[in-house]
Amino acid sequence: MKPLTRLYKFLHWCVRQTFTFAYRRFECVGQEHIPTDAAVIFAPNHTNGLMDAMALLWLSRKYRQILFVARADIFRNKRVAKLLRSFRMLPIMRIRDGRENLSKNDEIMSQCVEALQEGIPFCIMPEGTHRAKRAQLPLVKGVFRIALMANERMQGVKNVYIVPVGINFGSFFRYRSSLLLKVGKPIDVTAFAKENAELSFSEQTTQLRAVLTEQLQTVHLAIPDDDDFEAIEECCFLNSDRNDSLDERLVRSQQLLKKLEKAKTEQPETMHDFFAQVKAFARLRKRWYLYADALSYSASSLKLFCVALLLLIEVPYFFVSLLVVLPYLLISEMLVRWQSDNAMYNSIRYVLSLIFYPLSMLVATVVCFSLFKWWLALIFVMLLVPSYMFFYDYMRLVRLCYATLVLRFNRSLCEAMQRLKLFIRKL
């Protein structure tokens, strides 16, 4: 592999230091499952554009680098291709790029195997494409071909592992929501190949795909993508508990998914009527602009009063933070509206925050030290440091207060929610 560029080293450092600040709640579980002194292939689900890659950069931060593959069409521009390759990204051809171009993947796979031999971890999104949905697409064969090829070349020097990673976003489109990274049990490709030596390469690939499909479903919420998808997803929102950790929420949703699938088989008519009620509730909730996280939020009158009082006290600082983040907000929202792929929304916001946050702080520092004594300017600058995070967290509290008031005074909506939650608890 070519030596790392200074730009790559700098950006890798930036992601390691700043990525978790893009989320209000962040959890990572199962890191002990990542093998040491082995050839590691990360295989995560793919739901949120560039943020998935950033999550893997953060997860693999103990390594100096990690190799990615991306769809080939973004490499068409020579300058862009050169930049992407310097970021350790390689193009992978898909059927939509033309069957005649699929043979070019052999060279790319050889480069991936070479990187694994050098101890560089490799990441490929086995679903082949991204979409902002809590579901799982059929896995493509590329990751398994690379794993088996690498195992042949290693010749027992290192074991090859495929590590399933679940990337679970609280919201695909709202910045500073929550993120759970869950690392599953690694699949020992070397041991698999020995145990199934009598199988052909194609048969081994098929069996590995079945194993990874099952393993990947244990580390993220994979709702069947059928007519009941939206209803089941809404049930998971209704069933969540704010006191749970993010991992506990995931397990709770996975358990509920199994119960709902079982009930659909045993009581099809009852569940059909129930899902119709859930869908009606979801439409009504969205009509009132209530976010899904509000369904698990409850506050007594005293707590609601205290939160409202706190928001009122913080109004001056909110407007100051708004002034600081305004250029970033205007440009990011303009680019988001221009972007047709909604799975890229938070990727745009995160990348722009890496640019605008230091610029905003630089401008604020110059202005403060120009207008005030040094000690007073220093206080003002320190107060502005959390302005970006504060802005999003303040707006979240406003949304939760609004949702609490709506659910308190809109009896029909509140009663519908309680009926659905009661039905879910009885499953």
DSSP state of 3: P
| Per-residue confidence (pLDDT) for residue 95, from 0 to 100 | 57
What Rg value do the Cα atoms of the chain yield, rounded?
Answer: 24
Say whether pLDDT at 1 is over 70: no
CB 173 within 8 A of CB 21: no
Percentage of the chain modeled with pLDDT above 90 = 67
How far are the Cα atoms of 116, 124, 125, 160, 187 from residue 163, in angstroms, in the given order?
A: 14, 11, 11, 10, 6
- What's the burial of 360, exposed, middle or buried (CB within 10 Å: 0-12/13-18/19+)? buried
- Give the model confidence (pLDDT) of 26-36 as tens digits: 999 999 999 98
- Give the model confidence (pLDDT) of 221-234 as tens digits: 999 999 999 999 99
E strand spans, 95-146: 122-123
- Residue 188: closest CA among 215, 221, 166, 167: 215
Tokens at 8, concatenated: 């790559």
Torsion angle of alpha carbons 13, 19, 21, 25, nearest 10°?
A: -140
- Give the model confidence (pLDDT) of 163-211 as tens digits: 999 999 999 999 999 999 999 999 999 999 999 999 999 999 999 999 9
The top-level CATH class assigned to 6-216 is: alpha beta
Domain positions in the chain are 6-216, 229-288, 301-409
Work out the mean pLDDT of the chain and round it to a whole number: 90
- Give the model confidence (pLDDT) of 363-378 as tens digits: 999 999 999 999 999 9
The larger pLDDT score, comparing residue 298 to residue 282, is at 282
- pLDDT-derived band at 92 (thresholds 50, 70, 90) equals confident
